[in-house]
Every structure is written in C-alpha cells, then in structure tokens.
C-alpha cells in the first residue's frame, strides 16, 4: 500500500503587531486581541444545575409511580414533557459550567 505524503510547513504568520505592520506597510499597524480567561461561575450555579436535573428526574419518577395522578393531575401526560424540560434546562446549564 502506498504511503501518503506529509504536509509541508507553510510560511508562518506574524505574531506581533510590529510584524503585522511590517507585512502591510500601507495600512495602520494591526493590534492583536488577547483573549481574557473566562470568569468562574458563581457559587450557586452548580447547586442550581444539579438541583434542576434532580427535580426533573423526581418529577418524572413521581409521575410514573403515581400512575399519572401526581405532580399535576390536570395536565396528564404533559407531566412527562414538563419533567424532561426541567432536566433539559439543567443539562443546558452544564454547557456553560466552567
């Protein structure tokens, strides 16, 4: 079986504003943006995130165990949707957790 060729290293891009100004003499020097480190989450974030996931799970379990009588008897099978929505909000919070 033939071997594939490796990639060639291209020219490197300028890393400092002075190098960028030297590369584009007719324009103003470009400034590089430095990324700020992400701020940590507040102390309440993780308990709320876990609480929502557990509350949604408890909602669904209570609905199944009580044979559709609880937590809200008037909405019937929509209790399942409500429970999954609560779990989904908790899961979406995990994507923002730092």
Whether 79 contacts 56, CB under 8 Å: no
Phi, psi of 47 (to 5 degrees): -60, -40
**Boundaries of every domain in the chain:** 41-98
Q: How do residues 19-45 score in pLDDT, each as one tens digit?
A: 555 555 565 555 667 778 888 999 999
> Is the pLDDT at 73 greater than 80, yes or no?
yes
Q: Which long-range contacts (CB under 8 A, 24 or more apart) does 57-65 make?
A: 57/83, 57/87, 59/83, 59/86, 60/84, 60/87
Q: Work out the pLDDT band at 3, boundaries 50, 70, 90.
A: confident
């Amino acid at each position: 079986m033939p071997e594939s060729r490796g990639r060639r290293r291209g020219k490197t891009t300028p890393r400092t504003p002075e190098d960028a100004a030297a590369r584009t003499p007719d324009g103003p020097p470009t400034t590089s943006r430095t990324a700020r480190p992400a701020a940590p989450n507040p102390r309440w974030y993780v308990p709320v995130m876990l609480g929502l996931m557990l509350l949604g799970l408890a909602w669904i379990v209570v609905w199944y165990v009580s044979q559709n009588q609880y937590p809200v008897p008037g909405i019937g099978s929509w209790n399942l949707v409500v429970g999954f929505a609560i779990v989904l909000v908790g899961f979406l919070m995990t994507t923002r957790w730092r």
